[in-house]
Amino acid sequence: MITRTAGPGRARTAGSPWRNWAGNVTSRPVREVSPASAEELAAEIRRAARDGLRVKTVGTGHSFTSIAATDGVLVRPDLLTGIRRIDRAAMTVTVESGTPLKRLNVALAREGLSLTNMGDIMEQTVAGAVSTGTHGTGRDSASIAAQIRALELVTADGTLMTCSEQGTAEERAVFAAARIGLGALGVVSAITFAVEPVFLLTAREEPMRFDRVMSEFDELHAENEHFEFYWFPHTDNCNTKRNNRSAGPVAPLPRLGGWFEDEFLSNGVFQAACSLGRAVPPAIPAIARISSRALSARTYTDIPYKVFTSPRRVRFLEMEYALPREAATTALRELKAMVERSPLKVSFPVEVRTAPADDIALSTASGRETAYVAVHLYKGTPHRGYFTAVERIMTAHGGRPHWGKVHTRDAAYLAEVYPRFAEFTALRDRLDPDRRFANDYLRRVLGD
């Protein structure tokens, strides 16, 4: 079990600029602080208000947007880590906001517990993941934020608030929005997640042709608890993955075989292939044909985080849009046709996942069955032409951009595709009228 961090926090004048994981966002805060408790966090926010400074919190920097950038006070939650309590009667776990998902997953497994669903990486902090709407894939189980049962956050005036569906009317309103709050409503200090007894998943990975995936997409979604696939641009090849609960026994990937595909092929060789493609773009279609045939069918059974997540060591930029699920195959065919008729050379596969509708105001799956289409390009590769063309297709189908991934949408567009957008901004006006938590990104996507 993770032990909760204790001791005083730290504050210092910022030196070198902060950079995100992909290296496409930098900022120069006036100072950086590392509070060790919710009370210290509240004190830092009150101090920032006295100094007339904005406040933003960063996790591990895995967002590709400037959602965490600030020229004021940068809060690092490195000391806000650990499990506060496990309530086995209620089947919940309360965790400090700066806890990395990786550490949480390992600690829960040791306690015989698990989250119901999770994304495909686990490097993020819990607060960073939920605040930007991180999700995996699921027919019935939704994003990480949808598994939240209570939130503790510090608002702009330094008030420490705990909110849930069992609270006052105001606390219920905050809970409805702050589960995916974009850092606009306050700084999250702790999160209570629903958990369940640890279970087993059997993963079945299988190459499949693009046209077959398109024709059977609804069936594959309906028949599997968790279905996703990757399409390799410049080819007709996909790699599908179906995860379903299993009675066991545990049958993990062989150590050598798992290392060969997940590390050597998916990271080592892929890194080299991306570097070659960046240097010699005309080689990318041939590389894609080879890459798409390199991964073979395989089946394995393990505890959830070992099946849902995988290492991602090749750095990239990403755009992802959430579409109404019924529009997914049409949009994907349009995306494939666009790549085929254009001079674009795309080295990264396109990732497709699904989610059920949820009730979170700014969730990308708010109020509708959803399919996610994510496109990536290797770090350092010119991306605007490809991302602009993809965005044009996605917005034509009412797409909602992932809050932590590259996009160009603004508040006017987002108000049209989120029925509860005005509810969120009205709550922001009440909780942060002076825009203590604002930055350029939030001004663009939420307005002033």
Q: Are 229 and 241 in contact (CB under 8 A)?
A: yes
State the burial class of residue 168 (Cβ atoms within 10 Å of its Cβ: 0-12, 13-18, 19+).
Answer: exposed
For residue range 359-408, list pLDDT tens digits in order. Answer: 999 999 999 999 999 999 999 999 999 999 999 999 999 999 999 999 99
Q: Is the pTM of this model over 0.85?
A: yes
Residues 442 and 400 in one domain: no
- Structural domain harbouring 383: 200-302+314-408
Q: Give the range among 48-52, 95-99, 290-294, 406-410 with minimum mean pLDDT.
A: 290-294
CA 215 to chain centre: 28
Interatomic CA distance for residues 307 and 138, integer angstroms: 13
| Helices 210-223 & 328-341 angle (0-180, nearest 10) | 160
Residues 184 and 237 in one domain: no
Residues 253 and 336 in one domain: yes
Place 250 in a pLDDT band, splitting at 50, 70 and 90: very high
**308, part of any domain:** no
Residues 87 and 63 in one domain: yes
Spatial CA neighbour of 312 closest among 127, 119, 142 = 119
CATH number at residue 348: 3.40.462.10
Buried b (16+ CB within 10 A) or exposed e, 37-70: bbebbbbbbebbbeeebbbbbbbbbbbbbbbbbb
The DSSP string of 133-177 is T-----SS---SGGGEEEEEEE-TTS-EEEEETTS-HHHHHHHHH
Residues 131 and 17 in one domain: yes
Residues 415 and 323 in one domain: no
Residues 172 and 47 in one domain: yes
Residues 161 and 271 in one domain: no
CATH number at residue 433: 3.30.465.10
Interatomic CA distance for residues 100 and 105, integer angstroms: 9
Domain count within the chain: 2
